[in-house]
Amino acid sequence: MMHLWHLPLSVQGALLGLAVLAASPPAWAATSTQTLVCDVSYLPSRANWVRTVTVDYDNKRLRGVAVDGVAVHSFAVSGTVILTSQDNERIQLDVAQLGWTSDFRGLASGQGRCQRENM
């Protein structure tokens, strides 16, 4: 029986590369991106901000979320709502109702409507 460490390093590297390719999802897997542009009103300042949310998904699950071009570290999905946070803002994005709700730990809050942007 021949062990992997008996092979030359170049062969070991090639075999490791093949193993990684076999374990990763295929490059041709359909991944889609949806961009939502949200007009959010913040209280108590009464300021309006346009926020852009990019959602990456495939046919099985949500793959990534970015708010204003910055990828969020974590997110959760509850029905049609994406729950995430950025800096000190806790964000709830309802993708079915196209609504944005957020709060800054009880000090301020935001609410708004979103529109889908075609990419």
**Residue 19, pLDDT score:** 45
CB 59 within 8 A of CB 30: yes
Q: How far is CA 46 from the centre of its chain?
A: 28
Rounded-to-integer distance, Cα 109 and Cα 36, Å: 19
4-44 confidence digits (pLDDT tens)? 445 455 544 444 444 444 444 555 567 899 999 999 999 99
E strand or H helix at 91: strand 89-94
72-81 confidence digits (pLDDT tens)? 999 999 999 9
The C-alpha angle 46, 49, 53, rounded to 5 degrees, equals 140
Is the pTM higher than 0.75? no
1 or 111, higher pLDDT: 111
